[in-house]
Amino acid sequence: MKTIRAPLELEDIRSLQVGDEVLVEGTIYAARDQAHQRMAEAIRAGRELPFDLRGQIIYYVGPCPAPPGRVIGSAGPTTSGRMDAYAPLLIARGLRVMIGKGSRNQEVKKAMRENGAVYLLTVGGAGAYLAERITAAEVIAYPELGPEALYRLEVRDFPCIVAIDAEGHDIYERPKE
């Protein structure tokens, strides 16, 4: 199984094919609806983003509160489609990998093809399992959004499958046996 780690170059992205199982390790950023809205606003207003998107990985998640002694609470993926409105803007800024669950729209796929990005699916509803693979979590922006804040996470052996590759092949559109 392949392991990927940010920052990712174009050739790293192009080597990933739909259906490939991958393990993510290293730094990823956690953001969902409201954090995306804020980042999109910042981009449109020409303001600086809380982190440099180039080569990075964003995970669509809104975790549970961290119990004592834990870095994070349950932290499985949320439905990615809700981020479709913002994703092309971020991809154009260099975002390389998105992790979530569910399908993406045509605009997102087009931006992925044009800029070289992949969309990974991880196991929905496996929040406790995935939280065990998150070794550090830190809020880096929008703390007022609570579970929707922007987090920097450290992960290891974080299991995913390539759902849409940089050529636009889509696991949800493959002929099913």
Partner 1 sequence: MRQIKVDLIEERVAQAVIDANTVLPKDVHGALQTARERETHPAARRFLQIMLENADIACRDRMALCQDCGMVVAHVKLGQEVQLIGGSLETAINRGISTGYQRGYLRKSVVRDPLARINTGDNTPAIVHISLVAGDVLQITLMPKGAGSENMGQLAMLKPSAGVEGVKEFILQVVRAAAGNPCPPVIVGVGIGGNMEKAALLAKHALLREVGRPNESPDLAELETEMLTRINASGIGVMGIGGNNTALAVNIETYPTHIACLPVAVNLGCHSTRRIKLEF
Q: Which does 132 bind (CB under 5 to 8 A by kind): partner 1, ligand SF4, none?
A: partner 1
Q: Which does 146 bind (CB under 5 to 8 A by kind): ligand SF4, partner 1, none?
A: partner 1
Q: Which does 174 bind (CB under 5 to 8 A by kind): partner 1, ligand SF4, none?
A: partner 1
The correct pick among 81, 102, 124, 147 for binding ligand SF4 (CB under 6 A) is 124
Q: Can you tell me which residue has the tokens 């990712």?
A: 8
Which strand (E) or helix (H) includes residue 13?
helix 10-14
Minimum CB distance to ligand SF4 smaller for 60 or for 112: 60
Rounded Cα–Cα distance for residues 68 and 142 (Å)? 22
Residues 83-122 that bind partner 1 (CB under 8 A): 101-103, 121
Stretch that binds partner 1, among 3-11, 38-46, 72-80, 105-113 (CB under 8 A): 72-80
**Is residue 176 within the footprint of partner 1 (CB under 8 A)?**
yes
The first and second tokens of residue 113, run together, are 């093809």
Cβ(61)–Cβ(148) under 8 Å? no
109 alpha-carbon distance from chain centroid: 14
**Is residue 163 within the footprint of partner 1 (CB under 8 A)?**
yes
Rounded Cα–Cα distance for residues 90 and 93 (Å)? 5
The first and second tokens of residue 13, run together, are 């992205």
Closest by CA to 104, choosing from 88, 124, 90, 93, is: 88
**Is residue 147 within the footprint of ligand SF4 (CB under 6 A)?**
no
Minimum CB distance to partner 1 smaller for 50 or for 124: 124
* Residues of this chain that bind ligand SF4 (CB under 6 A): 76, 124-125
